[in-house]
């Protein structure tokens, strides 16, 4: 029996898919790489739902579409194991535990976040968050920057973002530039043959034009469309989400302060599951329960459609030189955006010698000793509370 026939020969039940992803959604700390490692252990080694090659093929496919990689891996596996119902169940069950935890923390933040204890708690957590993002940036740089040309593109994106350029323009502009440079010799033959554009380019989201200009106050429709846009166009690590949130909710709409954005990231780090549940927190802060539900649904919804659309073409997309070079450009642009937004957020998080020391110590612990980020967040919170108590 071929490995690719495994799902068709041994279809699974909806209940087992839902149970697995509810469990993973409740315990999967550590970011997308850790989530995917846990999934591999469960579905390849323990349950034998698919083999390593098929798992790697699915992972390659998730890198070619926008959205949160670990959530999309859950959706892919659910679809292979239990069809369309499994696709929905796996995604929803992986997202739900974290979304509910973030919702509860968002309620507590709105009700009690301005109290002195909460202020000192976040004072200690914020520099740790900066270190966590820098560590993710360090790891991604080693993977994404494969040649000097890509390094130059990333630096250019970093500088242009700090100069005020649109993150969407930078993301897709860099992708298109690398695609053209890497495939320059193929373009004449493609044009001469009248072939269609690269398959992934045909699917680039056009939703950005539908998001209205900044309103005077909260609008449920604007909130939904803004998060739908982010979910439909965001490539790279979940930390790239920071650039989009800052541009849309701090700069364009003015619904969040920079400090609230850092608090949102802190809450997202304190909970398991997808980093994208930061949207739940932002939605609650600006629109309470209605906003939390709309934001959560909107940011994850595109992933379900993208996975459903790409599943029949996984092997072809993974091998496509067009898709591969576009992905290289988008990934390096995502790193440039991460660097730019981290620079700006660090100005608000690192405000004195203690916060600088917390950030540096956390970064060393993450890179040198691979300490779990959840422990560092707890230590930062304790340091902030202790400092507030003695002041």
Could you read off the pLDDT of 213-227 as tens digits, one per residue?
434 478 999 999 999
Average of per-residue pLDDT values in the chain? 82
Q: What mean pLDDT comes out for the span 86-99?
A: 95
- Give the model's pLDDT for residue 214: 39
> Higher-confidence residue: 144 or 352?
352
Dihedral of the alpha carbons of 87, 89, 91, 94, in degrees to the nearest 10: -150
Cα separation values, 258 from 177, 240, 250, 354, Å: 32, 16, 6, 20
- Give the model's pLDDT for residue 211: 45
Any idea which of 15-19, 86-90, 139-143 has the lowest mean pLDDT?
139-143
Residue with tokens 């003695």: 390
pLDDT at 314 over 70: no
> Higher-confidence residue: 342 or 57?
342
Q: What mean pLDDT comes out for the span 256-274?
A: 85
- Give the model's pLDDT for residue 305: 94
- Give the model's pLDDT for residue 201: 41
pLDDT at 269 over 90: no
Model confidence at 75, pLDDT cuts 50, 70, 90, reads very high
Residue pLDDT, tens place only, 165-219 = 877 788 888 988 988 988 876 666 554 544 444 444 444 444 444 444 434 478 9
- Give the model's pLDDT for residue 10: 54
pLDDT at 153 over 60: yes
% the chain with pLDDT above 90: 35
Task: Specify burial of residue 206 (Cβ count, 10 A radius: 0-12, 13-18, 19+).
Answer: exposed
Residue pLDDT, tens place only, 14-56 = 999 999 999 999 887 656 766 787 788 889 878 889 887 778 7
CA-closest candidate to residue 325, choices 216, 183, 230? 183
Model confidence at 236, pLDDT cuts 50, 70, 90, reads low
- Give the model's pLDDT for residue 195: 45
pLDDT at 313 over 80: no
């Amino acid at each position: 029996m071929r490995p690719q026939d495994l799902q068709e020969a041994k279809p699974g039940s909806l209940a087992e898919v839902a149970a697995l992803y509810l469990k993973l959604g409740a315990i999967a700390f550590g970011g997308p790489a850790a989530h995917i490692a846990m999934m591999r252990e469960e579905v390849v080694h323990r349950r034998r739902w698919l083999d390593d090659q098929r798992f790697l093929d699915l992972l390659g496919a998730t890198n070619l579409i926008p959205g949160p990689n670990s959530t999309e891996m859950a959706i892919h596996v659910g679809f292979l194991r239990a069809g369309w119902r499994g696709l929905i169940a796996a995604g929803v069950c992986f997202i739900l535990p974290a979304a509910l935890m973030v919702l509860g923390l968002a309620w507590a933040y709105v009700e009690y976040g301005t109290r002195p204890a909460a202020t000192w708690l976040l004072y200690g957590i914020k520099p740790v968050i900066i270190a966590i993002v820098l560590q993710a940036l360090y790891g991604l740089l080693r993977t994404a920057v494969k040649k000097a040309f890509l390094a130059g593109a990333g630096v250019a994106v970093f500088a242009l973002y700090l100069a005020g350029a649109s993150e969407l323009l930078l993301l897709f502009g860099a992708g298109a530039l690398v695609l053209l440079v890497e495939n320059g010799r193929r373009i004449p033959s493609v044009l001469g043959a009248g072939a269609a554009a690269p398959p992934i380019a045909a699917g680039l989201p056009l939703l950005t034009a539908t998001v209205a200009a900044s309103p005077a106050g909260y609008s449920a429709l604007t909130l939904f469309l803004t998060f739908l846009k982010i979910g439909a166009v965001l490539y790279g690590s979940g930390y790239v989400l920071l650039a989009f949130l800052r541009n849309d909710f701090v700069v364009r709409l003015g619904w969040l302060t920079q400090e609230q954005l850092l608090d949102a990231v802190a809450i997202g780090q304190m909970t398991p599951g997808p980093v994208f549940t930061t949207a739940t927190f932002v939605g609650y802060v600006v629109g309470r329960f209605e906003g939390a539900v709309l934001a959560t649904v909107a940011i994850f919804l595109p992933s379900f459609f993208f996975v459903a659309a790409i599943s029949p073409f996984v092997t072809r997309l993974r091998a496509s030189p067009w898709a591969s070079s576009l992905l290289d450009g988008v990934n390096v642009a995502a790193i440039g955006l991460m660097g730019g937004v981290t620079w700006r957020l660090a100005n608000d998080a690192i405000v004195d010698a203690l916060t600088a020391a917390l950030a540096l110590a956390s970064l060393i612990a993450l890179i040198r000793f691979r300490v779990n980020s959840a422990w560092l967040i707890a230590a930062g919170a304790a340091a902030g509370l202790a400092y507030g108590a003695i002041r």
